[in-house]
Amino acid sequence: MNIEDYREYCLSLGADVEEKLPFQKFKNGEGVLVFYVSGHMFSFFYCNDFSVVSLKCQPERIEDLKAQHESIGNPYNESPKHWIGINPSTAPEGLLKELTSNSYEIVKAKYKERKEVDSKEVS
């Protein structure tokens, strides 16, 4: 999958998806495109080197995914306990989409729960 198709896929996941280049002020952060849901990252990559997309993942799935797919490894600059890195040029498109959607759903659910708890505490 190429970078523009991947970008369009991320944006298609929901009206609540935002894309930003938040690290422009940092020396090695220029060109890092980040996709957010509920104000939190679910996918990011370097625009100039589209060889690793970092995605949130359930910890119990990570080792199996790495063992089953050569295109999956460690994420860039995130905890390998909760994140994976996937090479979009070698990964099957269906796998990349499934793992991206999974990441979006993990983050969305986590921060939806927190928002609901916060709302109940205010009531």
Per-residue pLDDT tens for 24-66? 888 778 899 999 999 999 999 999 999 999 999 999 999 999 9
Total-model pTM: 0.89
pLDDT in tens, 67-76: 999 999 999 8
Q: Which letter, b or e, does each residue of 106-122 get, where b requires 16 or more Cβ atoms within 10 Å of its Cβ?
A: bbbeeeeeeeeeeeeee
Look at domain 3-122 and name its CATH class: alpha beta
The domain segmentation of the chain, as residue ranges, is 3-122
